[in-house]
Structure 1
Amino acid sequence: MNNVTKKLIKKLSGVLFISTITFSAWAISLGAAKQQGLVGEMSNGYLGVVVNSPEAKSLVNSVNQKRKQIYMDLARKNKITMEQVTTLAGKKALAKTKPGHFIKNTSGQWIKK
């Protein structure tokens, strides 16, 4: 693993932590939505709607807008592509997903971790 990748992984870990703080206003809603199986993590680094509802859509849109901005900043700062950032973020998010919460598999189906 080269130094750029190591630095990016370290920054993504920090970003995921910071995004938890950034989303503190959403923390209960996001946590509850994941616990209830309304939303889940995807391999592209973004949140997805598992159960179609206006509340889930609104939450997903809000969280994903914030994530996108963070990812764009990381890509610019590290002179890498958004695809590289979102791929690494997706791997981290899927790895950190709690058992019983939903993730989207490679077939595009929502499964419980």
Structure 2
Amino acid sequence: MKKITLLISALLVSVSSWALDLSQAKSQNLVGEKNNGYLGLIVSSNTDAAALIADINRKRKAKYQSIANKQNTQLANIEKIAGEKLTAKAKAAGQAYQDASGSWKK
């Protein structure tokens, strides 16, 4: 039983190392920063990138809402500010970002 547990643990660790992370997704030009403060999918056929985006965007929205509540402002205001900062950071790093018209740039 101990050997089975050890084997399963080893498999889970090796599978998790295959999982796509945000740095990899950005460097592979699969995802980019949208002008609304969230990540966008550039390569629509990549399901790993889509799952990653869904998870990160869910966390971002929760954080943005928390900030909005603390500052007594609308979520949209925080999303706009975050979008401006994140797209500027992506642009400076040579990563994909969405311009004001919604087009992807690098």
| TM-score normalized by the length of structure 2 | 0.75
Q: Which residue number corresponds to residue 94 of structure 2?
A: 100
Q: Percent identity among equivalent residues?
A: 39
Give secondary structure in 2 for the equivalent of 1:48. Answer: strand
* Deviation, structure 1 residue 40: 0.1
The residue type paired with residue 37 of structure 1 is N
Q: Look up the SS of the partner of 2:101 in the other structure.
A: coil
Residue aligning to 1:9 = none
The number of aligned residues is: 85
C-alpha RMSD of the superposition: 1.2
Q: Distance in 1 between matches of 2:94 and 2:80?
A: 23
Q: CA deviation at 1:35?
A: 0.4
Asked if 1:47 corresponds to 2:46, the answer is: no
Deviation at 1:100, TM superposition (A): 2.8
Partner of 1:56: 49
Aligned-pair CA distance for 1:74: 0.5
Q: Which amino acid aligns with 2:29?
A: G
CA shift digits 1:20-67 (9 cap, x unpaired): xxxxxxxx7100100000000011000000111101110100000000
Please identify runs of 4+ aligned residues in structure 1 that moved more than 6 A: none
Structure 1 residue runs of 5 or longer lacking an equivalent are: 1-27
Tell me, which stretches of 5 or more residues in structure 2 are unaligned? 1-19
State the SS of the aligned residue for 2:97. strand
Aligned twin of 2:23: 31
